[in-house]
A = this chain, B = another copy of it.
């Protein structure tokens, strides 16, 4: 078991505000009602509202100016990738685009890893791959799979690739449950992934690139089918 998150008032309020923003109920560039008014409308204290604001500002959806007001930012134009979880939760259309990017970047990472990986990192990758096979249940296999990708990102020797990988994972982590299909057969998942690890071990950049592309295309297809069927 693992500690499951609890929905606090601020969480709920944040979600509500975010929906209202992403839905366009608060148009971008426009000012929100004053805090005193808005907090009364939602039936919470101004302090609580401000906590929710703090998060949305940090996320790049809002912008507050002392003495003036709180404005909705043009997030589609200026926002960063950390908005993705919110955007996907609001509209799963984004998933297709996230997967496409993940494929492009995953291939890039694999090829960089092939160029840079140390022997220790190759050994670690093999261990992480083995863990996928031994995982019990789709959910576990999925997590083990993510660890392999984190390992590949580390093997590039560039920490920014690790952060980027995390960002993309975080993007669809909230929907994780709906995306276990590719991992229900742990053995198959492991075998799909193996060519990538082996190409990296052989320091063959081109092979790593195409193996990763093939792997990501395959899992992507399964996931999207699953989602399509789920509707």
> Which chain B residue shows the least CB distance to A157?
B97
Q: How many residues of A contact B (CB 8 A)?
A: 41
Select which of B59, B77, B104 is within 8 A of A58 by beta carbon. B59
Q: Known: A108-B104, A108-B108, A112-B104. Contact between A163 and B80, CB under 8 A?
A: yes
Q: Known: A50-B51, A82-B82. Contact between A76 and B108, CB under 8 A?
A: no
> Which chain B residue shows the least CB distance to A76?
B159
Q: Known: A105-B108, A167-B167. Contact between A81 and B160, CB under 8 A?
A: yes
How many copies of the shown chain assemble into the complex?
Answer: 2
CB distance from A185 to the nearest CB of B (A): 27
Judge whether B163 and A81 touch: CB under 8 Å.
yes
Judge whether A164 and B58 touch: CB under 8 Å.
no
| 16 A-B pairs (CB sep. < 8 Å) | A76-B162, A77-B162, A78-B166, A80-B81, A80-B163, A81-B82, A82-B82, A84-B160, A94-B160, A97-B159, A101-B161, A101-B164, A104-B112, A105-B108, A108-B108, A164-B164
In the complex, the 10 A-B pairs of residues with the closest C-beta atoms, listed nearest first: A82-B82, A80-B167, A58-B58, A54-B54, A101-B160, A81-B167, A81-B163, A97-B160, A97-B158, A55-B58
